Chains A and B, each alone.
Chain A
Amino acid sequence: MIKHLLKMVWNRKRANILIIVEIFFSFLVLATVLITTVHYWQNYYRPLGYSIQGVWRIEMSLKSLLTSLKAGSDDSKQETEKARQLYLALQKLTEIEAFAGSSDAPYDPSVQTSSYSYRGSKLEIQTEYGCTAGFKDVLGLQLVAGRWFEPNDAALSWDPVVINQKMKEEVFGSEDPLGKNIAPEKAERERRVVGVISEYRKHGEFVSPYAFAFQRSGWSGMEGQLSGPPHYILVKVRPGTPASFEEKLMTQIQRVNKNWSFTLTPLSESRQNWLTFCLVPIVAGGIVAAFLLIMVGLGLVGVLWQNVTQRTREIGLRRSVGGTRGDIHRQVLGELVVIASVGLLLGVALAVQVPMLHLIDFISARVFSFGIVSSVGLIYVLTVLCGLYPSWMAARVEPAQALHYE
């Protein structure tokens, strides 16, 4: 049966080659869309490593932040004093459960990296390089080993670093990372790992887990180091705090220094914005792909329909020598499946190169195989659906009428 179908397809190879090419490309489009969707979908349900419940981000205006100040100058002393007062003002507010300064915040599109090296290999790893001791409590990070930064870390002669589980696996494997120095080669101070947290996916739900490190910063005037305030202040308010607290908070901190400007954004809002930003290209790509597949489907129906009309006599002949309607049905759909298989075979052969050659590393092989298998299934369904009407038409051919032309 299959051998016979293959022969039929081969005999009309010129007419079939275009359908094969079309199915090949349709498969690639569908597989790309499915793999991306499944990849994002899977990521969405992985643990984030932090909670943004009740967390507000206060951005300090860039204008004051980037004003470079020489340590010890009068300006610098003034700024340091103001920053200290800011700290005290925040501490006084009982509605605040925890607060911290940071250089970066969850759902911020920016990418900050820092250099490390371990056993001679250079590493460039995403890093939050200015978080103060309160950071862990604000975001509810979970320690797996070691400790988080402490206010008296400022007195150390080396820089403490906290890493996430993923970085521990990538850099240290099964070794114990605690106490290891990961400073880059020419660095003046050592960077020692003091703790490991379970997970930290700064860029939110859609990205795959990646290595991440934290470096501490003091809050000027309170924990030593750095003049001036941090870039962001992250504030976690107690549950049940009324919305009017926002105004109170802003007036309190504005009172400290008139020259700084503060913008408050709830992290839930930055999350919303960032996720929308990530979703728009996926949705747009999905819509375009859907339209492409509809077009291909309609085209297939057209081509098959024409094929059937053209082969009326052949079909009539078969019917007159005893072929049943079912036989004709099976023949038309069978040929179609064979054609589709050839196209799919080529497509799969190309698609499996991607995970095999590690061309795209951040998508796991399992997602790839799932995407490929389900695309194959869907393309078969699509082609068979497109073949149903033409095959029904073919089966309706009356032998007498068809042979009448001969």
Chain B
Amino acid sequence: MIKNYLKIAFKVLLRRKFFTFISLFGISFTLVVLMVVAALFDHVFAPFPPETKLDRTLNIYWAATSHKGEFHSLTIPGYALLDRYARGLPHVEKFAIHSIPTSAISYKDGAQISSYLKTTAGDFWDIFNFNFLEGGPYSIDDVTRGNFVAVINDATRNKFFGNESALGKAIIVDDQRFRVVGVVENVPIFRVTPFADIWVPITTSKTDNYRKEMLGIQMGTLLVRSRADFPAIKEEYRSRLSRVKLEERGEDDTVTGCPETLFETFSRFLGGSIQNSVLKPPSGRLWAVMLTLMILFMVLPTINLVNINISRIRERASEIGVRKAFGATSRTLVGQFVTENVVLTLLGGLVGIVLSPVVLQLLTGSGLIKYAHFQMNYRIFFTGLLIAFFFGVFSGVYPAWKMSRLHPVEALRGRSL
């Protein structure tokens, strides 16, 4: 039975090549676009090395300062603020303070090498799972003692040493000499939390000033026991900060902030007033906006698919008549048309699955985004396929059912709906 359906389906699809082409084009094109968007999204938000424990990681990216109770500005926390108030929060397993990447200059044979340098303190190497190509991370002990050790990425190793091993060799960055203890895979620039070219202990900074800074260039990363503890941690950090005065700015200045996920941070830029969203990032709204955009994008291909399907079935009124005259039930007829649509959708999916990696590869190769490496997101792919499938079946069942209920004589004469 099914075999027969499949046979008929292929025959029909081949007979009306133009219709088949339009449907396939629509399905695969929609899937490819969905895949590219999903890959971009994953590139920023999904857990993959070094951020493998994203689901239970919180970051402190911002410090919002107020003057006499009125919102003043959104700035970046300093070491002192994080060290005093973010350390030892309940339910937190690991804690690291690390700087936002700053540009650092080195020279190699007279040519300038510009890299992004991140200074770290605390459990940085335990929270993030970097893929080490050589050596390993420096220890907490290295950080306490202020040893001049560095972890560099693959691209930096190539710049300094070509293809040779970098272990134990020295690099001079901003006039400071570091010994390379580890080489990691390149981290894409969109992984804003761990991204850098060179990682060194914070204690190698040229002055000790960072220790006194309430506002500065640091971010805090917390590895939490479980997601369920997020609200409690946010609440505790907030209440600790409510007692803090920014002395260097005067008695009236206070500071607040919120440990959050990267997605929550992004949702801040959605608009609305920043000060309101500091404590409550509108991440739900960002989801809603993204979902709406996705649905809007899929509306046209879907209508097109439905339209084509209906046309295809309507065209075959006489075929339906013949089958009915020979005793086919409505159910068999519907089954046949649905099989056709399923075959078509699967074919479209196949084309999409072949094309998407090609497009992603092109994007990766274009070098548009530093160290980018786009990957297929099969979860979204199958969701997309499922949606196409749904509309394919839906658009096949209704007209097929209507047609199958026509009187054989009417259908044989080719009467329209």
**Chain A interface (Cβ < 8 Å from any Cβ of B):** 14-15, 18-19, 21-22, 25-26, 29, 59, 61-63, 66-70, 75, 186, 258-259, 261-263, 280, 288, 291-292, 295-296, 298-299, 301-303, 305-307, 309-310, 405
Select from chain A the residue with minimum beta-carbon distance to B303. A22
Give Cα A304 to B162, complex, Å: 63
- Contact of B68 with A310 in the complex, beta carbons under 8 Å: no
Give Cα A316 to B372, complex, Å: 61
Describe A's contact surface by its main secondary structure.
helix
Interface CB pairs A-B, < 8 A, 18: A14-B417, A15-B416, A18-B307, A22-B304, A25-B300, A61-B104, A63-B217, A67-B207, A67-B213, A70-B248, A258-B175, A261-B103, A295-B25, A295-B26, A299-B307, A303-B311, A310-B314, A310-B315
B294-346 contacts to A (CB < 8 Å):
297, 299-301, 303-304, 306-308, 310-312, 314-315
Give Cα A299 to B306, complex, Å: 10
- Contact of B213 with A68 in the complex, beta carbons under 8 Å: yes
- Contact of A66 with B217 in the complex, beta carbons under 8 Å: yes
Select from chain B the residue with minimum beta-carbon distance to A292. B300
- Contact of B308 with A302 in the complex, beta carbons under 8 Å: yes
Select from chain B the residue with minimum beta-carbon distance to A63. B102
B361 at the interface (CB under 8 A from A): no
B209 at the interface (CB under 8 A from A): yes
Select from chain B the residue with minimum beta-carbon distance to A67. B209
Chain A residues near B104 (CB-CB < 8 A): 61, 261
Most-contacted residue by chain B among A14, A63, A75, A295 (CB, 10 A): A63
Select from chain B the residue with minimum beta-carbon distance to A62. B102
Q: A70-B248, A186-B68 are in contact. Are A306 and B311 (CB under 8 A)?
A: yes
- Contact of B368 with A18 in the complex, beta carbons under 8 Å: no
B144 at the interface (CB under 8 A from A): no
**Closest 6 A/B residue pairs (Cβ):** A306-B311, A299-B304, A298-B22, A67-B209, A18-B307, A62-B102
- Contact of B18 with A61 in the complex, beta carbons under 8 Å: no
B172 at the interface (CB under 8 A from A): no
- Contact of B300 with A291 in the complex, beta carbons under 8 Å: no
Size range of the chain B interface in the assembly: 35 or more
Q: A261-B174, A288-B33 are in contact. Are A63 and B303 (CB under 8 A)?
A: no
| Total A-B Cβ pairs within 8 A | 109
- Contact of B102 with A61 in the complex, beta carbons under 8 Å: yes
A86 to chain B, nearest CB (A): 17
- Contact of A15 with B417 in the complex, beta carbons under 8 Å: yes
Chain B 272-302, CB-CB to A under 8 Å as 1, else 0, gives: 0000000000000000000000000101110
B135 at the interface (CB under 8 A from A): no
- Contact of A263 with B22 in the complex, beta carbons under 8 Å: no
- Contact of B216 with A66 in the complex, beta carbons under 8 Å: yes
- Contact of A295 with B304 in the complex, beta carbons under 8 Å: yes
Q: A186-B68, A295-B29 are in contact. Are A306 and B315 (CB under 8 A)?
A: yes
Most-contacted residue by chain B among A19, A70, A259, A296 (CB, 10 A): A296
B205 at the interface (CB under 8 A from A): yes
Interface contacts beyond A291-B33, A303-B307: sample of 19 additional A-B pairs, CB < 8 Å, sorted by A: A14-B417, A18-B303, A18-B306, A19-B307, A61-B104, A63-B102, A67-B207, A68-B216, A68-B248, A186-B67, A259-B206, A295-B26, A295-B304, A298-B21, A299-B26, A299-B308, A303-B308, A306-B311, A309-B315
- Contact of A306 with B314 in the complex, beta carbons under 8 Å: yes
- Contact of A261 with B300 in the complex, beta carbons under 8 Å: no
B114 at the interface (CB under 8 A from A): yes
Select from chain B the residue with minimum beta-carbon distance to A65. B217
Chain B residues near A291 (CB-CB < 8 A): 29, 33
Select from chain B the residue with minimum beta-carbon distance to A69. B209
Give Cα A39 to B207, complex, Å: 49
Q: A263-B103, A303-B307 are in contact. Are A26 and B300 (CB under 8 A)?
A: yes
A93 to chain B, nearest CB (A): 20
Chain A residues near B215 (CB-CB < 8 A): 66, 68
Q: A18-B310, A67-B209, A299-B22 are in contact. Are A263 and B105 (CB under 8 A)?
A: yes
Give Cα A307 to B307, complex, Å: 12
B19 at the interface (CB under 8 A from A): yes
- Contact of B102 with A302 in the complex, beta carbons under 8 Å: no
B174 to chain A, nearest CB (A): 5
- Contact of B311 with A302 in the complex, beta carbons under 8 Å: yes
- Contact of B103 with A59 in the complex, beta carbons under 8 Å: yes
- Contact of A295 with B19 in the complex, beta carbons under 8 Å: no
Chain B residues near A296 (CB-CB < 8 A): 300, 304
Most-contacted residue by chain A among B301, B303, B416 (CB, 10 A): B303
Give Cα A302 to B20, complex, Å: 10
A242 to chain B, nearest CB (A): 18
